[in-house]
């Protein structure tokens, strides 16, 4: 028998006229995620059915990949049989015989209204059949050891239990954003959270080669690859800040270097966003976490760009961010100890309450536009 996975998508079903757009995109994303695994996909009345060939050795791998696809609320491995009550009873009994639970319950859903027997009656008849044909088992409607689900759709699907998916909305249904991706713990989580709402991501990373190493670069690539696993690929723009940081160090007060650098990062990101048609920048800032993340610093940073800047971690504590980083498998990569371009040039006493006029005055000593243009033009682009 073929291996079947029944996929449920909650929120996308609510999107009115856009419904088929959302579902088609979800189907495409599932198909991409299963790249290299033989499968076919069937749309069936508010569900998606993923079919793998009989005896497929890739079933566990397919399930793992499905867990990452945004827009999937939950899924179950199912057995499909004829829409014939006797066959359904037989199959349900087999499940009981295999698992030998002390208690059970049958739940049923009749999506195909042409099927003549209503759900409560299906439950009753299948339940009675199981009781008649097995010993030492009883019904427990509150906490059954085995919950048998029967769904009447294109076929009759029988399954026990379900696994949680990532939730959210299918990638690609929410426009495009540009993530400022450092090698730290926070920004990958920020990217994941925005991607979860359907936003397609590109990423930009700033390095200070040769002051930052090849290993530091590889670390960011590794993190971006984990993100790519959730959204079916990502382009990573690698931008050198070496000249800009040199120029800032030569011409501006040391305590302003962090905020000045951040304004350059934002402006460079905005240029790249224009090219890639991204409509928002995304960062991993969380209010008050470090010197550059005070409200004053965020204000001075944001005045350098016109695009909206999303900070999905703004209200989260570090422990919450770390928990999420663990869940999405970026934490272990992020804590590898390779130097970052910001920490490298970190002043001893960074300004925590920068004043915009003073920062603008310092910038007037810099060749802002040529520096930005050079950084954008000499960037390296990787497709992951």
Residues in contact with Mg ion by CB under 5 A are: 182, 184
Reading the block at residue 266, the tokens are 């934002």
Q: Could you give the CA distance from residue 193 to residue 169 in angstroms, rounded to a whole number?
A: 11
Alpha-helical segments (H) within the chain: 19-33, 59-66, 85-99, 119-133, 186-196, 214-231, 242-251, 257-276, 295-302, 318-327, 331-334, 341-344, 356-363, 368-377
Of 93, 123, 290, 307, the one binding ligand ATP (CB under 6 A) is 290
Residue 46 CB, nearest approach to Mg ion (Å): 43
Positions in 173-192 near ligand ATP (CB under 6 A):
180-182, 184-187
Beta-sheet pairing, 200-207 with 235-240: parallel
Q: Could you give the CA distance from residue 210 to residue 240 in angstroms, rounded to a whole number?
A: 10
Residue 174 CB, nearest approach to Mg ion (Å): 26
How buried is 297 (Cβ within 10 angstroms: 0-12 exposed, 13-18 middle, 19+ buried)?
buried
Nearer to ligand ATP, 150 or 204 (CB): 204
Residue 381 CB, nearest approach to ligand ATP (Å): 15
CA-based torsion, 312, 316, 319, 323: positive or negative: negative
Of 292, 304, 330, 362, the one binding ligand ATP (CB under 6 A) is 292
Nearer to ligand ATP, 104 or 331 (CB): 331
Reading the block at residue 325, the tokens are 């980083």
**257 counts as binding ligand ATP under rule CB under 6 A:** no
Q: Could you give the CA distance from residue 364 to residue 329 in angstroms, rounded to a whole number?
A: 43
Q: In the stretch 316-345, what mask flags binding to ligand ATP with x, by CB under 6 A?
A: ------------------------xxx---
Which residues have a Cβ under 8 Å from the Cβ of 337 and sit 6 or more positions away? none
Of 205, 267, 271, 324, the one binding ligand ATP (CB under 6 A) is 205
Nearer to Mg ion, 189 or 273 (CB): 189
**270 counts as binding ligand ATP under rule CB under 6 A:** no
Partnered with residue 235 across adjacent β-strands are: 202, 383
Residue 284 interacting partner from Mg ion, ligand ATP, none (CB closer than 5 to 8 Å by kind): ligand ATP
**248 counts as binding ligand ATP under rule CB under 6 A:** no
**3 counts as binding ligand ATP under rule CB under 6 A:** no
Residues in contact with ligand ATP by CB under 6 A are 180-182, 184-187, 204-206, 283-285, 289-290, 292-293, 340-342
């Amino acid at each position: 028998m073929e291996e079947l996975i029944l996929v449920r998508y909650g929120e996308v079903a609510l999107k009115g006229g856009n419904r088929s757009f959302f579902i088609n995109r979800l189907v495409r994303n599932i198909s991409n995620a299963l790249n290299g695994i033989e499968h076919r996909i069937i749309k069936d009345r508010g569900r998606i059915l993923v079919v793998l060939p009989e005896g497929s050795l890739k079933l566990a791998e397919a399930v793992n990949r499905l867990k990452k696809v945004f827009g999937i609320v939950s899924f179950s491995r199912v057995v499909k049989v004829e829409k014939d009550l006797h066959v359904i009873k037989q199959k349900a009994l087999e499940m009981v015989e295999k698992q030998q639970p002390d208690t059970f319950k049958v739940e049923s859903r009749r999506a195909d209204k042409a099927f003549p027997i209503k759900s409560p009656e299906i439950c009753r008849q299948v339940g009675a059949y199981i009781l008649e044909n097995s010993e030492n088992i009883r019904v427990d409607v509150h906490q059954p050891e085995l919950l048998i689900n029967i769904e009447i759709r294109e076929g009759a699907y029988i399954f026990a239990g379900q696994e949680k998916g990532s939730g959210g909305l299918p990638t690609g249904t929410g426009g495009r954003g540009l993530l400022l991706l450092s090698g730290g713990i926070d920004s990958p989580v920020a990217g994941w959270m925005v991607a979860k709402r359907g936003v397609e991501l590109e990423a930009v990373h700033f390095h200070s080669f040769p002051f930052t190493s090849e290993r530091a670069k590889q670390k960011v690539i590794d993190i971006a690859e984990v993100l790519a696993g959730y959204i079916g690929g990502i382009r990573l723009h690698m931008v050198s800040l070496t000249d800009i940081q040199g120029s800032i160090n030569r011409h501006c007060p040391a305590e302003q270097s962090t905020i000045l650098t951040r304004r350059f990062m934002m402006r460079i990101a905005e240029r790249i966003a224009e090219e890639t048609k991204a409509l928002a920048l995304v960062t991993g800032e969380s209010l008050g976490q470090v010197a550059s993340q005070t409200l004053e610093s965020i204000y001075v940073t944001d005045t350098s760009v016109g695009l909206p800047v999303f900070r999905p971690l703004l209200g989260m504590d570090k422990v919450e961010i770390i928990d999420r980083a663990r869940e999405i498998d970026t934490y272990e990569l992020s804590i590898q100890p390779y130097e970052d371009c910001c920490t490298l040039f970190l002043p001893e006493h960074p300004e925590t309450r920068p004043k915009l006029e003073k920062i603008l005055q310092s910038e007037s000593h810099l060749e802002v536009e040529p520096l930005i243009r050079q950084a954008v033009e000499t960037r390296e682009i990787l497709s992951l």
